[in-house]
Amino acid sequence: MKKILLFATFIIALSFIKNSAIAQLNYIGGGIALATGAEYNLNDYLYYNKSFGIDLRASYDYSKKLKIVPDFKIYLPNKEEFITGGESSTTVFVFNLNAHYILNPKTRETYRLYLLAGAHVGGWNITDNRIPSVGSDPQLDVKEFKFVPGGNIGGGMQFVLSNRILFFAEAKYVIAKTNQLVFSPGLMYEF
């Protein structure tokens, strides 16, 4: 699986190099992200990502109808305390590389509607020191970092707020071992 991801990353990097004269970085920004429903199964214990995060992104204009949008998200730790003792903490880091297909490029002066699809790589930082049950079971001592590759599909909209500022809101479904729905509103600045 790692070889497939490295190959895909290499192909995407080559496409950026080949088309660097065409694609132009024109927006940077960020916002918040709300992740719902993700769970990771590690050694028959479930860990969850149901929290808010920070979304940092850029937008490259490839053409009037196609934008390349890399984004990086850091979610707040999801902590869980247990009746039998101990707690677990899950922090998720995500890198997405999405293509936005603009549905209405002719009315782009005021708002844009877009569909998105792309690649997803999530990093799950899991720490767990719970006592599994009352009795002779030893206390867990889990400190793991796991990569979860996948894909994104979804859609969104952008509204022009001022001469250089856009408001965006998007919803996407992450297709991976840790399926989840992510909502991301925020602001982007044109330079």
Return the CATH number at 54.
Answer: 2.40.160.20
Distance CA 26, CA 158 (A): 14
What pLDDT sits at residue 182? 94
pLDDT higher at 105 or 125? 125
Residue 72 lies in a domain: yes
Indicate the range of 37-41, 120-124, 176-180 predicted with least confidence.
Answer: 37-41
Distance CA 111, CA 134 (A): 58
Residue 54 lies in a domain: yes
pLDDT digits (tens, 9 = 90+) for 116-162: 999 999 999 988 888 777 666 677 778 889 999 999 999 999 999 99
Domain span at residue 68?
A: 23-190
To the nearest 10°, the Cα dihedral for 103, 104, 110, 111? -20
Task: Tell me the average pLDDT of the chain.
Answer: 85
pTM comes to: 0.80
Structural domain total, the chain: 1
Residue 52 lies in a domain: yes
Distance CA 59, CA 129 (A): 41
What pLDDT sits at residue 4? 58
What pLDDT sits at residue 48? 84
